[in-house]
Structure formats: C-alpha cells, structure tokens
Chains A and B, each alone.
Chain A
Amino acid sequence: MFRTRKKDKTSAENKKAAETIQTVFNDLSASDDFKQSFVTNRHVTFCIGFYETLTEADILHKDILHNVQKAVSIEELTALLPFEDLKISEDVTLIQDALLQGSVCIHNSISNKQFCLVKAKSAKERQVAPPEVEFSVVGPKESFVESYQTNIHLIRKRLPISNLVVKERTVGRLSKTKVGVLYIEGIANKENYNTVLQRIEDLNIDQIADSSYLTQLIQDNQHSPFPQFIDTERPDRIAAVLGEGKVAIIVDGAPHALIGPTTIFEFFSAFEDYYLNWLVASFFRLVRFFAVLFSILVTPLYVAVLTYHYELIPKDMVSTLVTSRTAIPLPPILEALILELAIELLREAGARLPTKVGQTIGIVGGIVIGTASVEAGLTSNVLLIIVALAALASFTTPVYQMGNTIRLIRFPFLLMSHYIGLIGVAISFCFLLIHLLRLSSLGRPFLEPLFPLRVFDLKDALIRLPFKYQSKRPIQAQTEDTVKFNQSEAKHKNE
C-alpha cells in the first residue's frame, strides 16, 4: 500500500505542481455535484468550494457561511470558525483529498495563497441495531454499523483505557478505505499486530468493499476453504478478545470486524456462551461440535454403508432401509446428491430472495419437494431425514463463513464414499485433518489446543469452564502479559 501511495503522490505532485487552485476547482467542476460559490463581504471576496453530496448543508449554512461573511482574512476566519481541526494548507493534493472526504475549502480569491479546510462531512449512517447474524437472547444488543467512527466508539466505550491502540491505514487505490488495527498495548504480542499491519500495508488493490475482502487477502492460506479470521458483528466480542491479547481489524464501511489469531474451536463458540451458565454453555458447545461432525459425515456414511458395507447395518434396521429403497431406481450416491443439491438450492434461493419471499421458499421447498420426491420414488424417506438433519446441523455454526465451509466440504466426502466406501471417508477425513494441521492464523497453529496439545487452553475450547478458571489469557495468542486476573482473589466472596 505504501508503495502505491507513494507512486500516486509523486505522479500527482508532478502533474499538479504548476496548477493553481482555480484550475483544480475547474477540474473538479466536471462533476456536477461540486459547487463553487463566492461570498463577498465588505472587505474581501471568499471563494468556497465543496462537494454538495458529501457535506452537511446545516454546517455550511449556519457555521461556515455565517462566519465567512464577517471575516477579513483567512487568519481571522480560522479564529472565528467553531471547528477543532481546521487546516490551513497550500498543498493542492491535500486539498483535493480533503474535498473528497467532505471538507469545505475556503480561500481568499485575491491573495490566492492560503486555503482553509473545514470538515463538514455529512454523516449518513445506519443506526446501531441488534445483531442479526450473531443474535443472542441475553447480553448486549448492539452490533457494528457501516461507520468506522461508530464502530470504534462501540469498542472504546467498553475498553476505556489508554492502552487500547488504533493504527489506521488506508487501503485501495480507488476506494481509499480506512482500516483500523486495534490491540491493547502491553497485552497483545507485537508480532501479531505487526504481522497484520505489514500485511495490510503490503496490499495492492483497488477496492475494499467489506472486511471479508480483507480476510481473503491477508489470511495465511488463501486457498483454504476455512476462514482464518473470525468475523463478528458484536462489539462485546471484540472487546473480550482484545482483552485476551488478540488483534481486531475494523474496516470502514463494513459492519463486521475481524479477529486474529484464532483457532478452529473459536469458530464454533458463540459469544452467547459467555452469557450463559458454564454448564449450559458447555453443553451447547458440545452440541455444536457434534452437529459439525454429523453434518459432514452422516450422508457419506449412508452412501458408503448402502453401497459397500451392508454388513454394518444393524439387523433390526435392515428392513427399514430396504423397504424405503425398494422402489428407488437411483443408486445411493445419486439419491444423496439430488437431495443435497435440492437443499443447497433452497438455501441459495432463500438467501437471494427478499426475506418475506424467502420464508415461503423454505416451506415450499421443505414440505412440498421433500414429500413429493419421496412419493414419486426418487428418494428414500430415510435419506430425506438424514439430509435435512445434516443441513440443519450445518446451520448451527455461529460464524456464517465457517457454516458455508462445512456445507462445502461435505461433497468431497460424499464422492469419495461412493468411490471406495468407508475407506474413502477415512481418506477424506485424513486429508481434512492434515489440511487443518497445516493451517495457521497469523502464524499461530489453527488446531490449537488439540494440536499442539495445550491442556491449559482447553478451558475455553470444546467446553467453557467457569470464569474463575479463565484467569489466564490463551497461550495461542502468545500475549505479553499472560494473567487476566488473580484467580484466588476472584474466588473470594465477602458475605
């Protein structure tokens, strides 16, 4: 990024060096929403230039124009204007950039030397609303919005400490997106945030539309189906992981923030887990892990057993399976693929359609297509139940991106199970395991704490132990300060 920026600057400087502000204004006037107006008072004429679509008319009328009419010179004007970050500059590029960020440029048309830049950006943004993707019944109901300022405000109000550092970088030659890297100085490992910063700085791209662009661009293995940064819309989750010594990334215009380094187990922990009793939360977490395995393995196992290993079917289940399959002309693999595709179609159609229509699609698809295909003898009702349950299980993953991955990796398993049966399932599982073992998030092992085995980090992986046992920060983040609080004092209660 730095490279790009420098290149931009040098070329721009060369070009614009000779230009006067008037020619810049004239250039910008090619766009119809750029306005120039001249205000003449008793002493002097001021020229005011701004983008009508970027500035707040209220500020312009009440504060700027009102004062401009009284001032004699730029110096006097700066004293009169009630703004904290007024800039006086002669740099043409800076002026142009500021105008595009919503500033108002005022200059004395006679002296033609100094320009006053006043920030008058119009704040058109969505209200902070309850989270939709990571909804929780208990706990705060705030979620990030598209505004960088608001998002950092939501985090800062949860962590009112001076150690919380925000490093800003700009990414994108066209979009000039502001990206903030957040960490707590003294807790977070330098290596972690420097890696993030360096990767962001090295980016050479035109546009960043969302934080998910950034995930795909800066994660360790870009070809892996597994995301290596958690994206979350919950400011409370960001505040919590910052406290654990991790690094958060906020992208301007993105309602999701990123967290790294992370482990695969973190993707299956909903933040609501911390708001529930630890027993309940641990149970829910285990259910989620079971759901993932179930979702990946159950259809391939069905296909493998029915195609190759009839011996494995319990004797009392044979009749159920045979009866449900007698009228079906397709081999188990086609039967399974048809149903899996149907479910994916339903999901995709539901996701593309507006919410209200989407709901009806679910009902129509689920009930009508399901029962009709069984009655028509295209699929067996046992498989219908299995596939529907597997699809349901894949939706339990709290992080949306990971849920998609789970749905995708089922298909290679399915094909291998048809190809060589249970050996195929085993081989696919080995491949998956090897891939996960090789993955890393910001250079930290992705399968931690299972591999490398760090018993201490198991306190918050498959299960969530009570808070008093969570007194140390995860080893995975390699924090500078490992202790969160004193465990013995945390246990102490004054009656």
Chain B
Amino acid sequence: MLEQADSTVQAPQADLTSQTSAEDFEPRIVALFCNWCTYMAADLAGTSRMRYAPNVRVVRVMCSGRIDPQFVMHAFARGADGVLIGGCHPGDCHYQEGNYKALRRFRLLRRVIESLGIERERLRLEWISASEADRLRKVADEMAADIRALGPLQLSIPAEEFRNAEGAGAEIPSPEIAGETAAKEVAVP
C-alpha cells in the first residue's frame, strides 16, 4: 500500500508541465462511459461522422455503477482538468440499478471535491442513451468550453514537489524563508 502511494506521488503532474500559457490551454477531459448507453452513443456519433470536442478521452466501463470514486480522484491527480461520467437514463440501466449507484456516488463525490477546492463544473454526470449521439456531442462540447473558461486544474501536490526537490539535490522551496514571510504576512486583526 505504501509503495502504491509512493508511485502515485511521483507520477502525477508530469503531464501538466507540458501545459503552458492560457491561450493554448486545451482541457484534458477523462470520460467514463457505460458500455450499453453512453459508449454506444459515442460510437454512433463516430459512425455518423459527428464532430465533438477532441478534449474528451473516452474510457469504456461496463456500467456507470462500476465507476469507483477512486477513478475520478486518480484522473484529477494525474492531470485531468475534468471528468465526465456517462450512463443510461434512470430506469434504463442494463444492470437494473447501477446508474442509481453512480448518481449517489456522484452527488457525494462532488461535495467532497468542492471541499478540496476543485470547482463543481469539473465533474459532470450525464444520462445519454445509445441513440443520443447528438446529445453526446452537445455535452462534450459544452464541457470542453466550460473547462476552457475555468482554466487548467491546478492541484497543489507539495508532497511530490518536496520529495523531488530533495532527491534532485535542489533547494527545497525554502520553508525557512517561506515560514518567515508567512509569519510577517499574517495580519493582526
């Protein structure tokens, strides 16, 4: 478990450094689509030669109920600017009620990521049936535009920064000086 935690300390953000200025910011959106509805809609959009924002990277899962909140956290930690979850409409789940489980997790997860400073627009859940290719196009485009407006997700993962700084023999982002500055900056009410 510790080793796993280590590898995730080092891996995230490697990609983020390739993002540069605000103008050429292209949002990275990880889309988790269920096999039976939303993925089929994406397939239909493809065969219908529809165009939608290429920022959306689709991962197919069997059911939206399979989407573990860890997947979402992992996507954000590894440089996704947004996560889009797609499932069957309520009542239409191939496995009866997987999409209700997805909805419950989504409603709680969104509260948690907001408390951690991640804007709610960065996590979206949509019900898109196999025939709704046009809706898929609309949602993908909308989300890409929303996140472009928000800008890149800037996580602070100092654990990684500190450790890398130490390993490379570089200067640790001088806590001494930072500490002194902060002590001065905290205003007396």
Q: Bound pair: A and B?
A: no
Interface on A for B, CB 8 Å cutoff?
none
B: residues with CB less than 8 A from A are none
